[in-house]
Amino acid sequence: MIQLEHVLVVAALLFSIGLFIALSRRNAIGILMGIELMLNSINLNLIGFARFVDSPRPIDGQVFAVFVITIAAAEAAVALALAVSIYRLRQSVDVDKLTLLKW
């Protein structure tokens, strides 16, 4: 029998891996991958809560997960468009070299 705790531990580990990736990558696309992993872990939590936690309308968790997936898709599209246009501008997607706003 799966318990809520199992889900929470998996989601927490996934979140920290995602966080590490998002913070440590130099490539803009790599950072985006970390963010997607974090969003996934959040979804996992939402689904887990929907499944195990007492609430008047248990489906809410899954609906939220659907919303998160939607927003993740939008975010990925915009972020990748940004990455491509940044590459066009600077010939690089290395975020360490993007010092345009650095004073």
Partner 1 sequence: MSDIGTPPYVVNIGPQHPSTHGVFRLKVTLDGERIIDAEMVLGYLHRSMEKLAEERTYTQNIPFTDRMDYLAAMTGNLGYCLSAEKLAGVEVPERASYLRVIFAELQRIASHCMANGTFVNDCGAWQTPLMYMFREREKILDLFEMTCGARLTTNYMRIGGVAFDVPDEWYPSINKLMAEMPDRISEYEEMLHDNEILLARSRDVGVLKPDVAINASVSGPVLRGCGIAWDIRKADPYCVYDRMDFDIPVGHNGDCFDRFLVRLEEMRQSVRIIKQALEQLPGGPVTTPVPLALRPDPGEAYVRIESPKGELGFYLASDGGPAPYRWHVRSPSFINLSVLKELSVGLSIADAIVTLGSLDINVGEIDR
Partner 2 sequence: MDDTAVVVAFYVLAAITLISALMVAVVRDLIHAVLFLILSFIGVAGLYITLSADFVAVVQVLIYAGAISVLMIFAVLLTPRSDRDNAAVSYAAPLSVLAGLLGAVIIFVGLDTDWRQVEGDRFGQTAAEIGQALLDPYALPFEVASIVLVVAMIGAIILVRPGNEEEA
Angstrom distances, CA of residue 25 to CA of 31, 42, 43, 50, 62? 6, 21, 23, 33, 31
Q: Which is nearer to partner 1, 52 or 87 (CB)?
A: 87
Size of interface with partner 2, in residues (CB under 8 A): 76
SS3 101: coil
Ramachandran area for residue 54 (φ above 0: left; ψ -120 to 50: alpha; else beta):
beta
Residue whose structure tokens are 């690089």 = 92
* Tokens, residue 20: 């590490």
Rounded distance between C-alpha atoms, residue 49 and residue 31, angstroms: 27
Q: Smallest gap, in angstroms, from Cβ of residue 98 to partner 2?
A: 12
Site string for partner 1, 43-82 (x = CB under 8 A): ----------------------------------------
Of 43 and 103, the one with the shorter C-beta distance to partner 2 is 43
66: partner contacted, choices partner 1, partner 2, none (Cβ within 5-8 A by kind): partner 2
Q: Please report whether residue 84 would count as binding partner 1 according to CB under 8 A.
A: yes
Does residue 15 bind partner 2 (CB under 8 A)? Answer: yes
Residues that bind partner 1 in the complex, under the rule CB under 8 A: 84, 87-88
